[in-house]
Amino acid sequence: MSKEIKITLPGNRRVDAFYKGFHIPTDQPLYDGGDNSFPAPFDLFMVSIATCCGYYAMAFCQSRNIPTGDITLTQKSEYDPEIKRIGKIKIEVQLPPDFPEKYKRAIIRAIESCSVKKLIQNAPVFETTTVTQKSNS
């Protein structure tokens, strides 16, 4: 089953996505010639990892009636100058003092189930093609 994302190029450094009824605008930072009016695509990618991990933490807790209001996650990236890109992503889960001890390892296992993270670890094949649009005349 294929899922389609429509991309438009509205100007300057903007690239907008339309997916499942959502309009997701992106831009580039000022230092890359953009207006910094929206997150950059790479920023959204990084946020998707963190929010996916957050979802799995939330679902784990909700299924066990554990309050989630005082639980936070922090994602930190470590740049590797040798490979000239991010070499490590760390997810730190801040749990309240009353979080059940017996679930501390289990919530980490739940977070490890993040589907975005799994996709990165088992990367799909990428294929790029061109198609010539039909003339309006």
Q: What is the CATH number of domain 45-121?
A: 3.30.300.20
pLDDT averaged over the chain? 95
Distances (CA, A) of 89 to 46, 66, 71, 104, 132: 9, 26, 19, 20, 39
Confidence of residue 136 (pLDDT cuts 50, 70, 90): confident
pLDDT, residue 3, reads 87
104-111 and 41-63 helices cross at what angle (nearest 10)? 140
Using CA atoms, how far apart are residues 67 and 59, in angstroms rounded to an integer?
Answer: 11
Question: pLDDT, tens digit, for every residue of 8-25?
Answer: 999 999 999 999 999 999
Global confidence as pTM: 0.88
